[in-house]
Amino acid sequence: MNKTEAKQRIEKLKEWLKKWNYEYFVLNKNDVSEAARDKIKKELIELEERFPEFITPDSPTQRVGSVLSGKFAKIKHLRPKQSLMDCFSDEELEDWEERNLKLVPGEKLDYITEYKIDGLNLSLIYEKGKLHRAITRGDGVYGEDVTHSVRTIPSVPLELRKVGGASLNDYPVIEVSGEVYMSIKSFKELNKREGQVFANPRNAAAGTVRQLDPKVSADRKLDMFFYSIYFDKNSVLPYPQSQKETLKLLQDLGLRVNTNFVHHSSLASVRKAMSETEKKRDGLPYHIDGLVVKVNDFRHQNLLGSTAKAPRWAIAFKFPAEQSTSRVLDIEVQVGRTGALTPVAILEPTLVAGSTVSRATLHNEDEIDRKDVRIGDTVVIQKAGDIIPEVVEVLKDLRSGKEKKFHMPKKCPVCGGEIERPEGEVVSRCLNKNCFAVHQQQLEHFVSRKAFDIDGLGEKVVEQLIEHKLIEDAADLFSLQASDLMHLDLFKDKRTENLLEAIEKSKIIALPRFIFAMGIRHVGEETAELLADSLDLKTRTITLKKTQKKNQLSLFAGESAEEKAEVAEIPALQKALLKLTVDGLNGIEGVGEKVAQSIYDWIQDEKNQSYLDKFDRAGIKLLVPPRHKSSKLKGLTFVITGTLPTLSRDQAKELIKQNGGKASSSVSKQTDYLLAGSEPGSKYETAEKLGVKIIDESKFLSMLS
C-alpha cells in the first residue's frame, strides 16, 4: 500500500468509526457488532503506526494522550454556570409554577422533563467543530481543564457533525453542557478490579475525570449525556427556540442526549412522569436522583429570567430522601484536633441513595442518650436530600434484649491519656497534647484549604510523616528534604518535587490564615480575621509576584503580575500577642468571653511561644492587610454570598475592611447590604425577608469609586 492509498484508507476508516460512534451513542442503534468495530479500529491503529504523518487529533485512536505533570489549569466559562432550585414534593412544584405564572400573566407554559443524572457537570467548548476544552463546573465562573480525561470518553465526539451543509470551519465557538457519569456496571467492575475505591458512581466519575493519567480515565469507562448548548445566534447554525429543539440540535451535532426526555403540556403530566420515573429508577443502568423540569419555550425562559441564585424557568424535582435500615455493629470514638471525642456508629453496610453507608456520626454522649442508640440496634438511616447520611430513629420494637448500652471511655481510645468533660459542655476531650490522633488532626487542619493550603499533603501523607517520625509538629514541614520523602509509600521524584515546591510557596501567608492554622480552640476563620485586624504589627514592604498569590493573598483583588504587600516577621506577631489581655480580647467586637480566654491561654503557653519560634526559623512571613484606604463604607455592615464575577469572597471582604466597613458571616437586622453573586444560598432569602438591601458586584465596586 502506497502513501496515497494509505491516506485514503485511513480517512475512510476514521469516517466509518465516527459514524459507528454516532449511531451507537446518539441514535442507540447497534446494527454492527462491537467486535466488528474493534477490528476496524485495529486496522486504523496499524495503518497510523505505519504512516504516522496521517495521524490527526480527531482520530478515534487519539483519545488517550500523555500524563499531565501537575495541577489542572483554571479556565473561565463562556458564561457563568448557575445551579438549580430543588423541590421534593408536588406542593413545592406547584408553588414553583404559580410563582412563574405571576411573572408571565396570560401565558400557558409547557415543560420538558429530563432525568437528573447523578454525575459531574461539565462544559465542553468546540472551536471550528473540534473539541477544544472540557471544563468542570468549579465555582460557576472558573472551572478546571480536564480535556485530557474527557477526550477518552467514547460518547464525547472529538469532532462535531455537519448540520445543514455548513462547513465545520464556519462553525462558531460552541459551549455544550452535560453530565459525565459512570454506569452501575462499570462502577462494580472498577471496585472489583481496584478494591472498594469509591463509595458511589458519582464519586468515581468525579475522581476519574480528575486523574492526571488519561489512560486511567479511559480504563474506567465513563459516559456522558448533553442537555444544553450556547453559541452566537448570528452564525451558520440554526439557533434553537426551545429546550426540545436544543435536544434535537445536540443530536444532529453528534452529541448524545438522554432519550428519556418527555414534552408535557401541563404540570399534572410532569407529576405523573415523576411517579413513573420513581418506579423505574432501580432498573436503570445509571443512578438518577430525580427529574429536571424546564420551561420548554425559550421566549418564556427569557421572560422569567433568573434570580442571583438560579434560573426561574428550571427546577430539580428530586426523589424524597431515601431511607434504609441497618444494624449498629459497634460504636467507635474518634479523636479530633482539639482532643474532642466523637462517637461514631459502625453500621452493617447498606445502600442509601446510591451510596454504601457504613458509618454515621452520633455527635456526642448526650445525643446517644437522647436517641437511646445501642450496639446491636436496628436503626433507620436516611440521606437528607440524597446527600448526608443520618440516623433517623431506633426501631426499638426489633430489639432482642441482647443490645448493649454504650458508655464513653474513661481514657482516650488512641493514646490512653486522661479525658475530661467540663461542666456545661457536651463534648469530652483528650488532655494529652502528644496524642497521635490529635497530632494528625492538627496537621491536617494546618495544611487545609483555609489555612496553609499545601497541595499534596493529604491524610495518608500526614499519617506517614508522623509514623516515620519525620515531623513532630507542623513547623517541621518546612525543614523536610527530598531525602526524607523518597522512601515513603507513593512518593516518586516528581511528587516529592511538587510537594517541596508547594511547601516553599506557602512560606508567605496572610496573617488571618496563619492564626487560623494554629488551631486555637474556638478560633474559626472569622475570629482569626477579627484577631488579625486588631493587631498592630511592625511591617516592611515587599513585591510579590503573581505566582506567589495563590492562597495567601486574600488581601488583593487585582490580576496584575506583581503586587506591593506589607509583611511582618513572626517575632512582631509574638510581641503583639503577648501584650493582649483577656479584657482586651473580649473587647474585640465578635469575640466573646469564652473565646477570649481560650486565645489568651494559648498565647501564654510557653510551648506555643516555642512553636512560633520554629516558624520564625523556617522563614515564614506574614502578609498584613493594609489599613483603611478610605472611610467610604464606614459604619456599614456587609454579608457576602454566592460566587462574584471577578472578586473572590476573601478579596471582597478585604475591600470592605480597607474602606472602613465590616464583613459579617450572617444576615441580621443589623446588616446594611448583602453582596450577592451566583448561587447565593439561604442568606439571599433571609435578606429578602428582613428587607436588607441586595447588591451585585458592580454596584459594590461603584460604592468604592
Work out whether strand 74-76 and strand 142-144 pair parallel, antiparallel, or are unpaired: antiparallel
Over the stretch 439-473, which tens digit does the pLDDT of each residue have?
899 999 999 988 998 988 888 889 889 888 899 89
Q: Per-residue pLDDT tens for 396-443? A: 888 899 999 999 999 999 999 999 998 878 889 999 978 999 889 999
Alpha-carbon distance of 188 to 285, in angstroms, equals 12
Asked if residue 177 belongs to a domain, the reply is: yes
pLDDT of 24 above 70: no
Strand partners, 393: 380
* One domain, residues 500 and 556: no
The CATH number covering residue 37 comes to: 1.10.287.610
According to DSSP, the residues that pair with 123 across neighbouring strands are 135, 177
Same domain, 548 and 604: yes
**HSE-up (13 A, CA, CB side) for residue 406:** 27
For residues 436 and 415, the answer to whether their CB atoms sit within 8 Å is yes
| Burial (Cβ within 10 Å: 0-12, 13-18, ≥19) of residue 589 | exposed
Active site (catalytic) residues: 116
What integer pLDDT is reported at residue 392 of this predicted model? 79
SS3 521: coil
Cell triple for residue 210?
480528575
Domain that holds residue 145: 85-318
Are 226 and 285 found together in one domain? yes
Q: Clarify whether residues 208 and 328 are in a common domain.
A: no
Same domain, 9 and 105: no
pLDDT of 63 reads: 60
**Does 19 map to a domain?**
yes
Identify whether residues 466 and 359 lie together within a single domain: no
Cell triple for 295:
420551561
Closest to 351 measured CA to CA, from 320, 326, 373, 375:
326
- Report DSSP state, residue 333: E
Residue 135 is assigned to a structural domain of this protein: yes
Lowest mean per-residue pLDDT among 103-117, 380-394, 465-479, 490-504: 380-394
* Cell numbers representing residue 582 in the block: 483577656
Residue 629 covered by a domain: no
pLDDT tens by residue, 295-333: 999 999 999 988 766 899 999 998 876 778 899 999 999
Predicted local distance difference test score (pLDDT) of residue 671? 92
Give the CATH number for residue 571.
1.10.150.20
Q: pLDDT band for position 624 (50/70/90)?
A: confident
Residue 553 has pLDDT above 60, yes or no: no
Burial of 344 (0-12, 13-18, 19+ CB in 10 A): middle
78 in any annotated domain = no
- Tens digit of each residue's pLDDT (9 = 90 or more) over 30-45: 666 555 666 777 788 8
For residue 74, being part of any structural domain is answered with: no
**Which three cell numbers, joined as nine digits, stand for 243?**
429546550
pLDDT in tens, 64-93: 544 444 567 788 888 888 888 888 888 889
96, 144, 85: which is closest to 120 by C-alpha? 144
pLDDT in tens, 327-378: 999 999 999 888 999 999 999 988 776 678 898 888 888 889 989 999 999 9
* Mean pLDDT computed over every residue of the chain: 86
CATH number at residue 118: 3.30.470.30
- Among 51-60, 283-292, 514-523, the minimum mean pLDDT is found in 51-60
Dihedral sign, Cα of residue 451, residue 455, residue 461, residue 466: negative
* pLDDT tens-digit map of 556-588: 333 334 567 789 999 999 999 999 999 999 888
Q: Can you give the pLDDT at residue 248? A: 95
DSSP-assigned letter for residue 24: I
pLDDT of residue 71: 64
The pLDDT of residue 388 is: 61
* Predicted pLDDT at 573: 96
pLDDT at 629: 65
pLDDT at 484 over 60: yes
Cα–Cα distance measured from residue 563 to residue 543, given in angstroms and rounded to the nearest whole number? 6
The verdict on 456 and 407 lying in the same domain is no
Look at residue 549 in the predicted model and tell me its pLDDT: 43
State the cell numbers at 190: 472498577
Note the pTM of the prediction, 2 decimals: 0.51
Euclidean distance between the first and the last CA atom of the chain, given in angstroms as a whole number: 71
* Residue after which a domain boundary falls, among 623, 647, 671: 623
What was the pLDDT predicted at 226? 97
pLDDT of residue 25: 59
Question: 305-330 burial by CB neighbour count: b if 16+ within 10 A, else e?
Answer: eeebbbbbbbbbbbbebbebebbbee
**What is the model's pLDDT at position 69?**
46
The backbone torsions φ and ψ at residue 47, rounded to the nearest 5 degrees and listed phi first, read -65, -40
Query: Within 10 Å of residue 511's Cβ, how many Cβ atoms?
Result: 26
* C-alpha span between 629 and 508 (Å, rounded): 23
The predicted structure's pLDDT at residue 560: 39
Residue 540 pLDDT level (bands cut at 50, 70, 90): confident
Q: Which of 505, 533, 565 is the last residue of a domain?
A: 505
What pLDDT does 72 receive?
73
Mark whether 110 and 246 lie in a shared domain.
yes
Exposure of 557 by Cβ count < 10 A (0-12 exposed, 13-18 middle, 19+ buried)?
middle
Residue 654 confidence (pLDDT) above 90: no
Residue 555's pLDDT is: 40
Q: Are residues 48 and 144 in the same domain?
A: no
Domain-ending residue, one of 318, 333, 360: 318
The residue that leads in pLDDT, 132 or 648, is 132
CATH number at residue 648: 3.40.50.10190
pLDDT for residue 256: 94
Same domain, 126 and 218: yes
Predicted confidence (pLDDT) at residue 204 exceeds the cutoff of 90:
no
26, pLDDT greater than 70: no
Percent of the chain with pLDDT over 70: 90
Answer whether residue 95 is part of any domain.
yes
Q: Domain check: are 243 and 127 in the same one?
A: yes
- Please report which confidence band the pLDDT of residue 614 belongs to, taking 50, 70 and 90 as the band edges: very high
CB atoms within 10 A of CB 565: 24
State the pLDDT at residue 377. Answer: 93
Q: How far apart are CA 532 and CA 675, in angstroms?
A: 23
Split into its structural domains, the chain has a count of 6
In this structure, the answer to whether residues 193 and 148 fall within a common structural domain is yes
Local confidence band at 259 (pLDDT 50, 70, 90 cut-offs):
very high
Name the residue among 467, 503, 462 with its Cα closest to residue 482: 503
Query: Is 568 among the domain residues?
Result: yes
Is the pLDDT at 513 greater than 80, yes or no?
yes
